[in-house]
Amino acid sequence: MDDIDLDELVSSLTFREENEAIKSYQNTVAVACPACDSQFDDLVVCKENPASLNLSKQLDLCVGSADDQVVIFTHKK
């Protein structure tokens, strides 16, 4: 996986939510996942270490890092 340019990536996504632990964005324009090259559904940027995610659905995940933050790409099953 190449280095992730987080600013460039989020400029193409739709902002969804932010709290103390995470920021999330929805992929509404079919951007490819930097890890697997498939379209992803959401991007979650972890702002805290450690951070806890409460997932309501079963998802495939791809993980990377950008600017010393963990980034998670979700793929709905």
Q: For residue 55, what pLDDT is reported?
A: 77
Positive or negative: CA dihedral 13, 65, 32, 57:
negative
Q: For residue 54, what pLDDT is reported?
A: 80
Q: For residue 7, what pLDDT is reported?
A: 92
Q: Which of 71, 70, 15, 75 is nearest to 41 (CA)?
A: 75
DSSP character at residue 41: S
Q: For residue 2, what pLDDT is reported?
A: 59
Q: Where are the domains of the chain?
A: 6-76
Q: For residue 28, what pLDDT is reported?
A: 96
pLDDT (tens, 9 = 90+) of the chain, 77 residues, equals 457 889 999 999 999 999 999 999 999 999 999 999 999 999 999 998 888 888 778 889 999 998 888 999 999 87
